[in-house]
Amino acid sequence: MRIGIVGRPQVGKTTVFNTLAQSNAEIGGYTSRGQINLSTANVPDERLERLAEIVGSQKTTPATIDYVDVAGVTKSDVEQAELDSGMLAELRTVDALAHVVRLFADESVPHVDGSVDAERDIESVSLEFALADLQIVENRLDRLRKQFQNQKLPEQQNEIRLLEACQETLEKGEPLRTLDLSDNEEKLIRGYGFLTQKPLLLVCNISETQLEAVDEIRERFSKYGAEPQTAVIVLAAQLEMELSQLDAADAEIFMAEMGLRESALERFIQTSYKLLGLITFFTTNPTEARAWTLREGQTAVDAAGRIHTDFADAFIRSETLSWVDLVESGSYPEARSKGLLRAEGKTYQVQEGDVLLILANPN
């Protein structure tokens, strides 16, 4: 999974990136145009250690998320499309966008628009993205109409009709997320990587002093979370970045002092998994216990394909049980004797927390 971190300049994007990726990219400076921070971060999962213990795995391999941190979105971005095409192209490949919105007040960090106004910023970034998508829609429509002027091929007509619906939505300044598309229509336009079609996580970046008002802030932004494929998370990025740079014991003390129950990293990951409909499954053997990501509703064969492409074709069955059952049984033989280990076939829908042992034909 790849998440693109976007937002106005100087709102804390790189600070959020550092928190999530536990990295040290330079903050404060205007990330120069074209500069992109990339990082792969482990998804913390306590279940993995427990499984490794039971199975006696030598190591654990967590699932990962890739983060992409780009320069701030400014009003001129669409006019400067040439210059920014690199950044936009990068964003078109991500699975979801995390839009960092500044709520913290800090005189020493001037806002490009002269004041801190989160709703205005959300509006202007949405508008920039809608314009960027609209440009693609219009170019494509032009080309299709020219090309198929005198022909009435149903497939092209369908695409034209669909793009016209996209155009209409975008011209109203609305994101494509609001369109109710069939699977087929979805497939038709997936290749364009429309920014306003991607699941959106609004990250409200507050200061330490606003932590007391966190419920009110959540309430204030809840209307965005009610929009299709959109979720909201409130966090104090600077505080969280400092927290992420401490070792585990110090971090625990620090969190207790600040009255934080889970780190932003955990909340961010949980929220983005939910937003994207992702689940985790595990594989274990004496070498490693490993966590993997799937979409809800995907099958044991899809799981096999995640592990190894050849595995999907060679799939025979999967010995399956929930991680809780395995941990509570204490061992595989014990779980088996209790009848907790099930043989599941190709169409089995993998459940959150399943441990899979996939049997495949060696050819």
* Binding residues for Mg ion (CB under 5 A): 13-14, 31
Which range touches ligand GDP (CB under 6 A), out of 7-15, 186-194, 196-204, 254-262?
A: 7-15
Identify which of 274, 275, 294 has the alpha carbon closest to the alpha carbon of residue 348.
Answer: 294
Report the alpha-carbon distance of residue 14 to residue 339 in Å, rounded: 50
CA 233 from centre of chain: 13
Query: Shortest distance, CB of residue 19 to ligand GDP, whole angstroms?
Result: 10
Query: Shortest distance, CB of residue 327 to ligand GDP, whole angstroms?
Result: 38
Query: Shortest distance, CB of residue 13 to Mg ion, whole angstroms?
Result: 5
Query: Shortest distance, CB of residue 102 to ligand GDP, whole angstroms?
Result: 8
Q: Is 15 in the site for ligand GDP (CB under 6 A)?
A: yes
44 binds, among ligand GDP, Mg ion, none (CB under 5 to 8 A by kind): none
Q: Which is nearer to ligand GDP, 207 or 271 (CB)?
A: 207
**Single residue of 3, 4, 6, 12 touching ligand GDP by CB under 6 A:** 12
Which residue of the chain is nearest Mg ion when measured via CB?
14
First to last CA, the chain: 30
Burial 78-99 (b: 16+ CB within 10 A, else e): beeeeebeebbebbbebbbbbb
Cα-flanking dihedrals φ and ψ of residue 90, to 5°? -60, -45
Q: Which is nearer to ligand GDP, 104 or 332 (CB)?
A: 104
Q: Is 343 in the site for ligand GDP (CB under 6 A)?
A: no
Identify which of 137, 135, 133, 109 has the alpha carbon closest to the alpha carbon of residue 8.
Answer: 109
Which range touches ligand GDP (CB under 6 A), out of 12-20, 51-59, 116-124, 327-335?
A: 12-20
Which residues lie below 8 Å from residue 215, measured CB to CB, with a gap of 6+?
A: none
Q: Tell me, by CB under 6 A, how many residues bind ligand GDP.
A: 20
Q: Which is nearer to Mg ion, 83 or 324 (CB)?
A: 83
Which range touches ligand GDP (CB under 6 A), out of 4-12, 154-162, 222-230, 326-334?
A: 4-12
Q: Where in 213-252 is the site for ligand GDP (CB under 6 A)?
A: 236-238
Give the x-and-dash track for 29-58 against ligand GDP (CB under 6 A).
--x---------------------------
Query: Shortest distance, CB of residue 48 to ligand GDP, whole angstroms?
Result: 30
**Single residue of 126, 205, 272, 298 touching ligand GDP by CB under 6 A:** 205
278 binds, among Mg ion, ligand GDP, none (CB under 5 to 8 A by kind): none
**What residues line the site for ligand GDP (CB under 6 A)?**
7, 9-15, 27-28, 31, 72, 104, 106, 109, 205, 207, 236-238
